[in-house]
Amino acid sequence: MTGLRWTLVVPLKPPLEGKSRLSWWLAPGPRMSLVRAMTADTLAAAAAAERVDRIVVVTSDADTVRRAREVAVGAVVDVVHEPQPTGLNRAALAGIDHARSVEPTHGVGVLLGDLPALHPADVDEALAAAAAHPLGVVTDATGLGTTLLTALPGVPVHPAFGAGSAQLHLDRGHVRIALAPGSGLGHDVDVPDDLAAVIALGVGDRTRRVLRVVGSLPRPRRSGRPGSPTHGWNPR
């Protein structure tokens, strides 16, 4: 669909609850700062994409709402308030329902909020490709997870985020969207090795500032994600 406009749904946990797999390395305060920074860089990049008109943030955290409105300046920002966290898939569905109620002619995408190396061009390239398919999916660097789920106007979508979500989405009819080499859209952050990968790509300013304060990444552990980088990084 040439010229299709998009609404992106970004479900967000409260910062203190995010990135629990970094808790063995980071105390709650620094971890919360890192989550906020990665979210802000993700939202800023997504909102600056030319094909994106609207961002729908789904969260139960009032501070997250305020920060989202501050950074997502290139798009209209709507908020779907959750009384309490309901899980990623329910939050995604709530955001999709809202997005389609206000922009029924838009394509809709569910975007993870932990993509600190994301650039607006990464989003535009993926959405341009997604416009050719009723349902699309962008997988993470391992090929196992999902970073972006897309659907054309009116096409039913049933998010299945979680372990093995990439295959689950493919089984539900989503077509894999290929990314250009170096795209930040394929690199979410769950463990320190993931941080090393996004640092190599180039993270946003907010994430970079927090990492300078945090200091060196720990050495990779054997329990890291399959296929993840094995190099560390010392911010300067």
Tens of pLDDT along 168-221?
999 999 999 999 999 999 999 988 788 889 999 999 999 999 988 877 565 544
The residue that leads in pLDDT, 185 or 234, is: 185
Structure confidence at residue 193 (pLDDT): 83
Give the mean pLDDT of 92-99.
Answer: 98
**How far is Cα 226 from Cα 35, in angstroms, rounded to an integer?**
23
Least confident span in 11-15, 50-54, 156-160: 11-15
Residue 124 scores a pLDDT above 80: yes
∠ CA 176-180-184 to the nearest 5 degrees? 90
Using an 8 Å Cβ cutoff, are 208 and 222 in contact?
no
Neighbours of 52 (CB within 10 A): 26
What proportion of the chain, given as a percentage, has pLDDT over 90? 70
> If DSSP codes are grouped into helix, strand and coil, which group holds residue 110?
strand
Q: What whole-number distance in Å separates Cα of residue 203 and Cα of residue 93?
A: 29
CA distances from 230 to 21, 104, 161 (A): 17, 44, 26
Domains, in order of start, for the chain: 6-186 (3.90.550.10)
